[in-house]
C-alpha cells in the first residue's frame, strides 16, 4: 500500500535554509496515499454552528413527551422517555460501573433510584428513571462531563450531538437490546484516548488518575472522529502534527501564544488556502500607540529597508502594511483558516526561537518550524488528484515563491486543523507524556470532575473571542 512520505534528512534541512525559493526542492515521493487510505476523500467540517438549530426528527410511539429546550444545550430533548423492559434496565445498571474505566464516576448516575425502579417492575417510573440515566450517560460519553465554563478558551463546537442525537441512540438501544454496545460506541476513537485509558487502569496514584481523567474528557470535547487526515497542534507540547489514518506523517515544532491575553485559544477550523509571500497589516496599537506610523512617514529610507508602506487618509488615519519578504513578521507563508480570532499558522523570520524549550512566546498565532515545507505539502495535498500532478504543483509554487508577490493558493481539498490543549497525552515520539500546564487550564477541569454532575450543559462557550491583532516577532 502506498504511504505518504515527506522530505526527510538532508531534504528537510534544505527546506529550512533554502531561503524564499523552492526551486531546488523536489516533490516528496509517494505523497498521495491510495484512495482507500482516505486522503483523497473530502475532509470533515469541524464547524457545525449552522446545524445547532436544526429540529430533531420525530420518533416512534414508544417515546413520550418530547420538547426542545431553548438555547444550545447538550440535553437537546430533556424529557425524552422510552419504554424500558426490566431486562434492558438491568443491562443499563450493569453497564454503569464500567464507566469508571472511561474516567467517569458511576456515582453520578443515581443507581439506587434505578435499582428501586427495576424492583418495582415495568411502568412509567422505570421508563422515566432508566431513560434519564441513559441520557446522562450518553451526554457524558459523547460530549464530555466538564461544563463549558470550566473549558477555558475552548471555542470548538463538538458536532457529535448533531451526528449522534440522543433520541436516536436511545431508540436504537431499546429496539436492539444492546445497551452496552450503543453506549460503548460513543467513546472517542483516537488511539491517544485508548492510551490514556490503559494508563488509568494501571495507576493507583490519585493525582495522576485525576489528570488522566481530565485529559480523557478533553478528547470528548472534540468530535469523536477527527477525520482521516488533519493537522493537530497540542499547545502545551509545542508541536504540530500532520496525521493520516491515525499515523503521524510529519511533525513540526511550533511557537504558541504567551500566557495571558494572548494565549492561543482552542479551535477547530478548515485550512482553505496557503498564502505565499504574505503581507502584514500593522495594528493601530503599534501604528499609533507605538509611533510606527510617524516613523514610516518621516523616514522613507528606513521604511523601505524594513518593507513598510504607509498611507495617510484624509481624516489623518495612517495605515501601515509590511510588504512580502524574508523579514516580514509572517515569514514567507501562512495557512489561511478564517476564524473570528484571527488565529492562523505561519512562518517566521525568528527561527532561533524554535530551539527553546519554552515556546509560549507569540501574540496568539502559531509559528511553525519548517513552514515552507508545510506550505508546499498542503498545496500538494490540497490540489493533487494523482501523483502526476505533484511536479506541476511544485513548479507552480516555486514560481510563486520566487516572484515575491502576495499569492493566495486555494486548496481544492480543504484540511481540518485542530488547536488543542492536552496536559497528558501521547507525544510525537509515541510516549505517554505529561506536558506543562502553561495556561493554568487544568484546575477548573479537575474541580469540575470532582463537583456534582451538571445537567443541561451548554454546547458552546459564552466566552468572547479575543482577536489576536498582531504577531510582532519576539
pLDDT, one tens digit per residue, over 49-79 is: 333 333 333 333 333 333 333 334 444 444 5
Q: Is residue 295 part of a domain?
A: no
Q: CATH number of the domain that 353 lies in?
A: 2.40.440.10
Range name among 32-41, 125-134, 166-175, 325-334 with the lowest pLDDT average:
32-41
Q: Is residue 453 part of a domain?
A: no
In terms of Cβ atoms closer than 10 Å to its own Cβ (0-12, 13-18, 19+), residue 272 is middle
Q: Are residues 81 and 193 in the same domain?
A: yes
Q: Are residues 381 and 256 in the same domain?
A: yes
Q: Are residues 167 and 236 in the same domain?
A: no
Give the total number of structural domains in the chain. 2
% of residues, the chain, pLDDT over 70: 81
Q: Mapped to the 3 state alphabet, what secondary structure does 249-269 carry?
A: EEEEEEEEECCCCCCCCEEEE
List the domain range (segments joined by +) for residue 338.
Answer: 10-45+226-279+324-424
User: Whole-number mean pLDDT of the chain?
Assistant: 83
Asked if the model's pLDDT at residue 155 lies above 70, the reply is yes
Task: Quote the pLDDT of residue 290.
Answer: 78
Question: Residue 19 — φ and ψ, nearest 5°?
Answer: 75, -155
Task: Quote the pLDDT of residue 466.
Answer: 67
Q: Is residue 297 part of a domain?
A: no
Q: Are residues 81 and 174 in the same domain?
A: yes
Active site residues: 346, 365
Range name among 301-310, 429-438, 465-474 with the lowest pLDDT average:
465-474
pLDDT digits (tens, 9 = 90+) for 76-100: 444 589 999 999 999 999 999 999 9
Pairing between β-strand 280-281 and β-strand 229-234 as defined by DSSP bridges? unpaired
Q: Are residues 253 and 391 in the same domain?
A: yes
In terms of Cβ atoms closer than 10 Å to its own Cβ (0-12, 13-18, 19+), residue 290 is middle
Asked if the model's pLDDT at residue 197 lies above 80, the reply is yes
Q: Are residues 196 and 270 in the same domain?
A: no
Q: Which residue has the higher pLDDT, 470 or 157?
A: 157
The enclosing H or E element of 213 equals: helix 206-221
Question: Residue 415 — φ and ψ, nearest 5°?
Answer: -115, 135
Q: What is the pTM of this model?
A: 0.81
Amino acid at each position: 500500500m502506498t504511504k505518504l512520505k515527506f522530505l526527510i534528512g538532508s531534504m528537510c534541512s534544505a527546506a529550512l535554509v533554502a531561503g524564499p525559493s523552492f526551486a531546488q526542492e523536489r516533490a516528496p515521493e509517494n505523497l498521495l496515499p491510495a484512495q482507500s487510505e482516505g486522503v483523497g476523500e473530502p475532509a470533515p467540517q469541524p464547524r457545525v454552528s449552522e446545524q445547532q438549530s436544526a429540529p430533531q426528527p420525530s420518533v416512534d410511539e414508544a417515546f413520550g413527551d418530547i420538547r426542545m429546550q431553548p438555547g444550545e444545550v447538550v440535553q437537546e430533548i430533556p424529557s425524552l422517555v422510552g419504554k424500558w423492559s426490566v431486562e434492558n434496565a438491568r443491562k443499563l445498571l450493569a453497564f454503569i460501573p464500567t464507566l469508571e474505566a472511561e474516567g467517569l464516576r458511576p456515582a453520578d448516575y443515581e443507581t439506587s433510584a434505578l435499582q428501586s425502579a427495576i424492583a418495582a417492575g415495568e411502568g412509567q417510573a422505570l421508563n422515566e428513571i432508566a431513560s434519564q440515566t441513559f441520557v446522562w450517560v450518553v451526554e457524558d460519553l459523547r460530549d464530555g462531563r466538564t461544563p463549558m465554563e470550566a473549558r477555558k478558551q475552548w471555542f470548538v463546537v463538538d458536532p457529535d450531538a448533531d451526528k449522534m442525537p440522543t433520541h436516536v441512540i436511545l431508540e436504537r438501544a431499546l429496539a436492539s437490546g444492546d445497551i452496552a454496545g450503543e453506549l460503548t460506541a460513543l467513546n472517542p476513537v483516537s488511539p491517544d484516548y485508548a492510551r490514556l485509558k490503559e494508563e488509568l487502569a494501571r495507576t493507583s496514584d490519585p493525582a495522576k488518575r485525576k489528570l488522566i481523567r481530565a485529559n480523557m474528557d478533553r478528547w470528548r470535547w472534540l468530535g469523536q472522529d477527527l477525520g482521516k487526515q488533519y493537522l493537530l497542534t497540542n499547545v502545551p507540547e509545542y508541536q504540530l502534527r500532520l496525521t493520516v489514518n491515525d499515523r503521524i506523517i510529519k511533525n513540526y515544532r511550533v511557537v504558541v501564544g504567551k500566557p495571558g491575553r494572548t494565549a492561543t485559544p482552542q479551535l477547530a477550523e478548515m485550512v482553505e488556502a496557503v498564502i505565499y509571500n504574505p503581507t502584514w497589516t500593522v495594528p493601530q496599537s503599534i501604528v499609533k500607540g507605538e509611533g510606527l506610523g510617524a516613523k514610516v512617514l518621516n523616514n522613507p529610507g528606513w521604511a523601505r529597508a524594513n518593507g513598510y508602506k504607509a498611507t495617510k487618509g484624509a481624516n489623518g488615519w495612517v495605515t501601515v502594511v509590511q510588504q512580502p519578504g524574508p523579514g516580514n513578521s509572517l515569514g514567507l507563508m501562512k495557512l489561511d483558516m478564517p476564524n473570528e480570532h484571527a488565529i492562523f499558522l505561519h512562518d517566521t523570520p525568528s527561527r532561533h526561537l524554535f530551539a527553546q524549550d519554552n515556546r509560549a512566546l507569540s501574540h496568539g498565532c502559531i509559528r511553525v518550524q519548517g513552514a515552507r515545507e508545510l506550505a508546499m505539502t498542503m498545496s500538494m495535498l490540497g490540489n493533487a488528484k494523482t501523483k502526476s500532478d505533484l511536479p506541476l504543483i511544485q513548479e507552480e509554487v516555486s514560481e510563486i515563491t520566487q516572484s515575491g508577490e502576495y499569492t493566495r493558493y486555494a486548496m481544492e481539498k480543504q484540511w481540518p486543523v485542530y488547536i488543542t490543549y492536552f496536559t497528558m497525552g501521547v507525544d510525537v515520539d509515541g510516549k505517554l507524556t505529561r506536558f506543562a500546564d502553561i495556561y493554568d487550564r487544568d484546575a477548573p477541569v479537575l474541580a469540575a470532575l470532582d463537583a456534582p454532575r451538571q445537567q443541561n450543559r451548554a454546547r458552546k462557550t459564552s466566552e468572547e473571542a479575543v482577536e489576536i491583532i498582531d504577531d510582532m516577532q519576539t
